[in-house]
């Protein structure tokens, strides 16, 4: 699945999962993927993100889907769309970092050197008030610009910028503020999102790709193309710290129980108290998200106690047999 980008440590060496229950994410049926999958859609210009999501539902004949981060109608690029129960994971995408490529037009000519000197002022923490037409409360807030590169500058007014930023950054407002500091004024002429969380432009598919793949599946029984488009929800956990648990602990977590240390088989680096963690089976199936109570080091060295409290469950109850007792 490739969901493990962090180093993994064994707490219980040589543990073997029961292959008669559960299944690796890549072995799910198409029906299961429609309820627990994500599509990395290349949003076209003009329709709203909500309209595009509605079209995806219509093509697939499903009733529940949601997008991971609104793009304005004119903006194109990565728009992850979660299907069915996978919509519960959208908060992870909404808070994930973003990468954009933008054409900025200054209202008067400027030199490359002038622009470069100004751009340095917008790296790091910036202050923004959401624009009037935004759907959030208009109050001053801090956002972080991780990187701001000038890729090209031509005819003294058009500039191509690549922006890596924190979620919730308004690029149109950023360009406006750059124009103010330049003294020329500037506006965003075109914008494309290249990346959001683990989803990048390289793996985007178009609505036409989706429609064609669904036709081949429904009319010819060919699953090849639709399987390349609908990715298991576990891809969303790629950069999250993880806890891998025993088969015997799975159903308790599905019922919302806290995860105790005896149920942990493996753990990744990067876990700190109060951090968001993904709880997975040994087959790499996402069971739930939780809030950690211990660090990776403590989880590996202690033998008893709670290590995470469940907050969002994805796996259906009874997927694994119940092996826990209720009082």
Summarize pLDDT for 237-261 with one digit per residue, the tens. Answer: 988 999 999 999 999 999 999 999 9
CB neighbour class for 270 (10 Å; exposed up to 12, middle 13-18, buried from 19): middle
Q: Is residue 252 part of a domain?
A: yes
Claim to verify: residue 192 and residue 253 sit in the same structural domain: no
User: Where a domain ends, among 138, 166, 196?
Assistant: 196
Mean pLDDT rounded to a whole number for the chain:
93
Question: Mean pLDDT, to the nearest integer, of 256-272?
Answer: 96
Q: Which two tokens stand for residue 324?
A: 């826990």
pLDDT reported for residue 95: 83
Q: Which two tokens stand for residue 65?
A: 């889907």
Q: Is residue 205 part of a domain?
A: no
Q: What CA–CA distance (Å, rounded) separates 1 from 10?
A: 19
* Assessment of whether the complete model's pTM goes beyond 0.85: yes
pLDDT band at 69 (very low <50, low <70, confident <90, very high): confident
Q: Which residue range forms the structural domain that includes residue 244?
A: 8-25+234-313
Q: Which residues are catalytic?
A: 72
Q: What is the pLDDT of residues 216-231, one digit of tens each?
A: 999 999 999 999 999 9
Per the structure, the count of domains in the chain is 2
């Amino acid at each position: 699945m490739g969901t493990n980008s962090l180093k993994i440590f064994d707490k219980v060496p040589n543990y073997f999962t029961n292959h008669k229950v559960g299944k690796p994410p890549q072995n799910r049926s198409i029906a299961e993927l429609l309820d627990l999958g994500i599509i990395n859609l290349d949003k076209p210009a003009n329709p709203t993100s909500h309209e595009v999501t509605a079209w995806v539902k219509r093509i697939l004949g499903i009733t529940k889907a949601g997008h991971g981060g609104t793009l304005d109608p004119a903006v194109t690029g990565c728009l992850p769309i979660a299907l069915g129960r996978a919509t519960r994971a959208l908060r992870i995408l909404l808070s994930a970092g973003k990468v954009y490529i933008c054409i900025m037009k200054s209202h008067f000519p400027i030199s490359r050197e002038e622009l470069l000197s100004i751009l340095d002022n917008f790296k790091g923490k910036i202050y923004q008030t959401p624009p009037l037409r935004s759907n959030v409360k208009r109050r001053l807030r801090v956002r972080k610009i991780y990187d701001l590169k000038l890729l090209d500058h031509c005819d003294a007014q058009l500039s191509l910028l690549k922006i890596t930023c924190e979620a919730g950054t308004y690029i149109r407002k950023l360009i406006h503020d750059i124009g103010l500091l330049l003294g020329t004024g500037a506006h965003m002429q075109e914008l494309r999102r290249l990346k959001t969380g683990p989803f990048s432009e390289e793996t985007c598919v178009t609505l036409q790709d989706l429609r064609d793949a669904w036709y081949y599946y429904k009319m010819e029984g060919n699953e090849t193309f639709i399987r390349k488009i609908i990715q298991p929800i576990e891809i969303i956990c790629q950069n999250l710290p993880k806890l891998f648990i025993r088969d015997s602990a799975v159903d308790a977590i599905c019922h919302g129980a806290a995860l105790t240390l005896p149920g942990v088989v493996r753990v990744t680096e990067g876990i700190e108290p109060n951090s968001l963690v993904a709880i997975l089976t040994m087959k790499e199936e996402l069971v739930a998200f939780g809030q950690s109570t211990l660090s990776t080091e403590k989880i590996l060295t202690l033998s008893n106690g709670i290590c995470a409290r469940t907050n969002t469950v994805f796996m259906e109850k009874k997927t694994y047999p119940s092996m826990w007792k209720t009082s």
